[in-house]
Structure 1
């Protein structure tokens, strides 16, 4: 979804820039498109579920859900001292 929006913003920005409409739309849309793509590249908050068991220090939260991408059941573990979360396929 975000990648589609970023590409659409860059395409519209390119058309506007070619037509000579730099401000108020062409240049800002370019920054928005580039910013969205960079956020997708560098955002590490989402990690796919792991198949390996959680290591020492991880606590089972009791949360279970079906991963929409893999359609597999996933358990949620957390590390209380850092608040970090780990997703383990069951």
Structure 2
């Protein structure tokens, strides 16, 4: 069973204490740094005012990036599957030709 520890992260100069299993601490800290960077980037643009709005815009941007990357991975997987089907068809054809008449 994993032990929960409290990790303190800083996002936009505010501290947040979060319960987190010890083995996930580095991932949580990395995620917090990433979020902090995105929020600072949005805040510094001057187009969005207020921590809540900055947080929502950061969440939307991160979600958009995630969904875009997932779609790209899905397309790659589909292309790889199709390529594999083609190669398996060639192997089947080669094997059936080798087993055919005169073999």
Structure 2-normalised TM-score?
0.28
Task: Please report the TM-score for the alignment, with normalisation by the length of structure 1.
Answer: 0.31
Q: Which has the higher strand share?
A: 1
Q: Which one has a bigger Cα radius of gyration? A: 2
